[in-house]
């Protein structure tokens, strides 16, 4: 069973099909994936195939760099702001929860500070910012069983006592990884999930710094229950020293990208996986789109002072936008967002080939930082992805991700989130 736990789902199913016991292996494999993902989790085999995008055979002619084969330049486009299906509810996932007045919940909509700015069709319903940032989140407690990283997620009290959690003098939320020089097994880390669930909406996240460095696997995403039926939207995610963000959706059977052509999709990113977004029929590759900007993730993002991500989920589909620091639209900074004016999205999954209210439901927003695991651990020896021109094995001189993480606590001084705010909007018409 240990062997099967380390293999991708697609390979497990192939092996099962070739053996007399396939009738029992297939149901057990699928049942395990469903069970593990019930707690607002990333999928077990999440993005492993997409993570190897730099060494897979591309669907278009490769560039001169034989590893970085997904180098298709983006084109201009636009996305309308029509929306539908918006409701919220308060839930209490497993772990410890801070309910309280929590996040600032607004009943009066966005505050328009500039008289020249048009009103927004989006109503601000929840803000996580400043000293109250951590109110309204549930802390995941225990080992990283969802993605098999070598971290132990801790409760709020333990995190504060160990210097992993704070709001700094700038009013920004800090979430760190433990930097003890040597650990025998797991490093302490943070994973939090919003108590609020939403169906449709606009999620805006402004960060100054995100985790980076060999061994790291940070993410900010939204997830529904009963994975993959409730869907998963990866807004910010990559590993190691990558500098270009990867945005991915994972769904039930039936959701597709209509094309891998950026001109058809009207996006500025590059499609790096297939066009079938169903988790269980693609070995959980999902539909991945990589940003063309080298300051959209990791060290490049941090050197630029961060930036703002916005995920729009409405009747037109699902889109992810990114604005490097200094380029944020005034309508975002003034809480009157108008996505239809923002130009091309980094990533977009149109409604005409993936109904956003059929394949996605009851989402919560999630932050985490894990180490190694099914993505970062598996590409420890890989190179050719933007920012990762040399593998982590070569850079560190250590043969495995796990050995490096356990013996090099100082290497994780940059493995922290510094977040200015998270805001959740609903469409008001």
Catalytic residues: 232, 237
| C-alpha distance from residue 59 to each of 38, 160, 260, 275 (Å) | 33, 47, 9, 11
Q: Which of 365, 108, 362, 395 is nearest to 240 (CA)?
A: 395
Tokens at 340, concatenated: 């239809």
Q: Are 247 and 347 in contact (CB under 8 A)?
A: yes
Contacts of 168 (CB under 8 A, 6+ apart): 174, 418
Q: Which helix (H) or strand (E) holds 298?
A: helix 298-303
Compute the distance between CA of residue 69 and CA of residue 53 in angstroms, rounded to an integer.
8
Tokens at 190, concatenated: 């943070």
The owner of tokens 């292996």 is 25
DSSP code of residue 357: T
Q: Are 400 and 195 in contact (CB under 8 A)?
A: no
The sign of the CA dihedral 37, 42, 45, 46 is positive
Tokens at 24, concatenated: 């029992």
Q: Are 200 and 83 in contact (CB under 8 A)?
A: yes
Q: Are 329 and 313 in contact (CB under 8 A)?
A: no
Compute the distance between CA of residue 318 and CA of residue 76 in angstroms, rounded to an integer.
17
Tell me the pairing of strands 416-427 and 191-194. unpaired
Q: Which of 254, 203, 259, 260 is nearest to 233 (CA)?
A: 203
Tokens at 21, concatenated: 């016991």
The owner of tokens 């995610």 is 237
Helices 22-36 and 9-17 cross at an angle (nearest 10°) of 160
């Amino acid at each position: 069973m240990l062997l099967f736990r380390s293999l991708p789902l697609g390979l497990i199913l192939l092996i099962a099909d070739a053996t007399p016991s396939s009738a029992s292996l297939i149901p057990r494999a699928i049942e395990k994936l469903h069970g593990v993902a019930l707690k607002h989790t990333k999928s077990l085999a999440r993005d492993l195939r997409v993570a190897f995008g730099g060494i897979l055979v591309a669907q278009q002619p490769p560039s001169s760099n034989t590893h970085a084969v997904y180098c298709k330049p983006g084109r201009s486009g636009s996305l309308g702001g029509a929306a539908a299906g918006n409701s919220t509810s308060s839930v209490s996932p497993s772990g410890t929860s801070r309910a309280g007045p929590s996040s600032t919940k607004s009943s009066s909509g966005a505050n328009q500070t500039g008289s020249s700015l048009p009103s927004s069709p989006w109503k601000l319903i929840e803000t996580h910012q400043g000293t109250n940032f951590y109110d309204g989140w549930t802390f995941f407690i225990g080992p990283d069983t969802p993605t098999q990283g070598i971290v132990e997620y801790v409760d709020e009290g333990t995190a504060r006592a160990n210097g992993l959690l704070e709001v700094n003098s700038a009013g920004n939320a800090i979430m760190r990884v433990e930097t003890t020089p040597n650990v025998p097994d797991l490093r302490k880390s943070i994973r939090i999930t919003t108590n609020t669930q939403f169906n449709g909406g606009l999620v805006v996240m402004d960060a100054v710094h995100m985790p980076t460095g060999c061994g790291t696997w940070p993410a900010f995403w939204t997830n529904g229950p009963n994975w993959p039926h409730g869907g998963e939207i990866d807004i910010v995610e990559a590993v190691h020293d990558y500098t270009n963000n990867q945005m991915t959706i994972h769904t039930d059977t039936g959701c597709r990208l209509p094309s891998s052509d950026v001109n058809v999709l009207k996006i500025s990113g590059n499609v790096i996986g297939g066009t079938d977004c169903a988790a269980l029929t693609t070995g959980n590759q999902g539909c991945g789109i990589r940003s063309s900007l080298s300051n959209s993730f990791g060290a490049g993002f941090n050197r630029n002072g961060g930036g703002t991500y916005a995920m729009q989920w409405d009747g037109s589909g699902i889109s992810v936008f990114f604005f490097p620091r200094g380029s944020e639209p005034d309508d975002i900074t003034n809480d009157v967002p108008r996505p239809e004016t923002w130009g091309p999205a980094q990533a977009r999954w149109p409604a005409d080939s993936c109904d956003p209210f059929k394949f996605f439901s009851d989402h919560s927003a999630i932050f985490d930082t894990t180490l190694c695991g099914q993505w970062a651990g598996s590409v420890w020896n890989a190179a050719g992805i933007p920012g990762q021109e040399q593998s982590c094995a070569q850079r560190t001189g250590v043969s495995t991700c796990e050995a490096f993480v356990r013996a090099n606590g100082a290497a994780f001084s940059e493995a922290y989130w510094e977040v200015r705010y998270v805001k959740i909007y609903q469409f008001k018409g």
